[in-house]
Amino acid sequence: MGAIVSVVACPSYDEQDVKAAFRRLLAPFGELDFVKPGAKIVIKANLVSMLKPESAATTHPALLTELCRLLISKGAEVVVGDSPGGLYTSAYVNTVYSVTGVKAVTKTGAALNQDFSHVHAENPQGHTLTSLEYTSYLDKADAIIDFCKLKTHGMMGLSACVKNMFGCIPGTYKPEYHYRFPSHAEFADMLVDLNERFRPALCIVDAVTGMEGNGPTMGTPRHIGALLASDSPYACDRVCAELIGLDPEGLETVVAAKKRGLEPEYEVIGDPQRFKISDYELVRTRKDLSFNREFKGILGKLVGGFIRKALCSVPKVKKSKCVGCEKCANICPAKAIHMKRRKPCIDRSKCIRCFCCQEFCPKGAMKVKRPIIAKLMNR
């Protein structure tokens, strides 16, 4: 059975635009007919950090509020939650709720998650992630709705449906997972394992205002004017990639899902071409290129080292923006950053290119640097 990707116009976050867009968006899915009275529904939003809605880093509260209203009208009990980067504690997460504006959902009768416990579990069906630590409030859900934001991403290229499920991992465990799965392919496989374990019943994408450039937290807001929904995170990510000019076949999450036979045939309802942006500023990353299999022994190491330096994007600090807060050094899973004269210094021999420093720098001082040779090759 094929999947559906619904794409509709939503010109703004004004209440009337949002209501009209949701009616069209959800019509192909029977207007949430999988929701039964008394069902416990968790909306897994993207609340990556303490950033205001206008930054375009988080799922907009106007959209979350309307979805909560629709679910509650069907008799559902609704909880909105996420595990942002940082401490997974009541004090920190409730501050994130406040700054991102999602406290507005409580006016509909929905609740914000206040269970900050987590649980360890084996995951024998996982290809890469055979055990995990995850946020335990998800266990109370009869169904999960993955409500993400369309953004560029320093490590994975795209942050949308598949990447959003990384928020199932408690904030302080996230660097550990980057270290456990340092290559792009391994990390993508881990993300697919998360999606297969928690299996969101529906994925919705906030692409009214997306983020381009230095995403997923310090990029530039870019108006797209669309909402997307799908019963397949993989099909939806493929359409999202096409909207912003990314080749889906170059995305590691798409590749990982395709290898497992998880990417379904799908029907697009709506006209995504009208929302496609040809000059969207992307974060161009490269796959891990060691070439050790093609060139054995010392030659393989020499070639692999040259290729990595010549073609692979790396994080680099823009010192004029850095305030010396040390967050990058504290969050780095590989311990590759130390502070010198209140500025971060990156040990390239330790750096695993997870871009955690770039993602969570509160001033946008960490950038994705593409080597000159890589830039010339892509022209």
Mean pLDDT of 190-206: 98
Write the CATH number of the domain with boundaries 297-377: 3.30.70.20
CA-based nearest residue to 100, from 56, 67, 158, 144: 56
Q: Quick: pLDDT tens for 17-55.
A: 999 999 999 999 999 999 999 999 999 999 999 999 999
Strands (E), 231-350: 266-269, 314-317, 337-340, 343-346
Instruction: State how far the Cα of 264 lies from the Cα of 242, in Å rounded to an integer.
Output: 17
CA-based nearest residue to 25, from 67, 71, 76, 72: 67
Mean pLDDT of 329-342: 92
Q: Is the pLDDT of residue 111 over 70?
A: yes
Q: How confident is the model at residue 287 (pLDDT cuts 50, 70, 90)?
A: very low
The reported pLDDT for the residue numbered 177 is: 93
Q: Quick: pLDDT tens for 239-255.
A: 999 999 999 999 999 99
The reported pLDDT for the residue numbered 293 is: 43
Q: Is the pLDDT of residue 98 over 80?
A: yes
Mean pLDDT of 77-98: 97
For residues 82 and 47, the answer to whether their CB atoms sit within 8 Å is: yes
For residues 81 and 137, the answer to whether their CB atoms sit within 8 Å is: yes
Q: Which two tokens stand for residue 112?
A: 């914000």
Instruction: State how far the Cα of 45 lies from the Cα of 58, in Å rounded to an integer.
Output: 8
What is the location of CATH 3.30.70.20 in the chain?
A: 297-377
Give first-to-last CA distance, the chain, whole Å: 40
Instruction: State how far the Cα of 328 lies from the Cα of 330, in Å rounded to an integer.
Output: 5
Q: How confident is the model at residue 360 (pLDDT cuts 50, 70, 90)?
A: confident
Q: What are phi and psi of 150, to 5 degrees?
A: -85, 115
Q: Quick: pLDDT tens for 55-67.
A: 999 999 999 999 9
One of 1.10.1370.40, 3.40.50.11440, 3.50.50.60, 3.30.1490.480 is the CATH number of 3-275, namely 3.40.50.11440
The reported pLDDT for the residue numbered 283 is: 85
Instruction: State how far the Cα of 17 lies from the Cα of 23, in Å rounded to an integer.
Output: 10
CA distances, 24 to each of 143, 208, 352, 354, 365 (Å):
22, 15, 43, 38, 40
Rounded to 10 degrees, what is the CA torsion of 362, 365, 242, 277? 100
Q: How confident is the model at residue 359 (pLDDT cuts 50, 70, 90)?
A: confident
Instruction: State how far the Cα of 82 lies from the Cα of 154, in Å rounded to an integer.
Output: 20
Pick the more confident residue, 251 or 304. Answer: 251
Residue 337 identity (one-letter amino acid): I
Residue 79 identity (one-letter amino acid): V
In whole angstroms, what separates CA 186 from the centre of its chain? Answer: 16
The reported pLDDT for the residue numbered 352 is: 87
The reported pLDDT for the residue numbered 313 is: 79
Q: Is the pLDDT of residue 309 over 90?
A: no
What is the location of CATH 3.40.50.11440 in the chain?
A: 3-275
Q: Which two tokens stand for residue 374?
A: 């890589």
Q: Is the pLDDT of residue 95 over 60?
A: yes
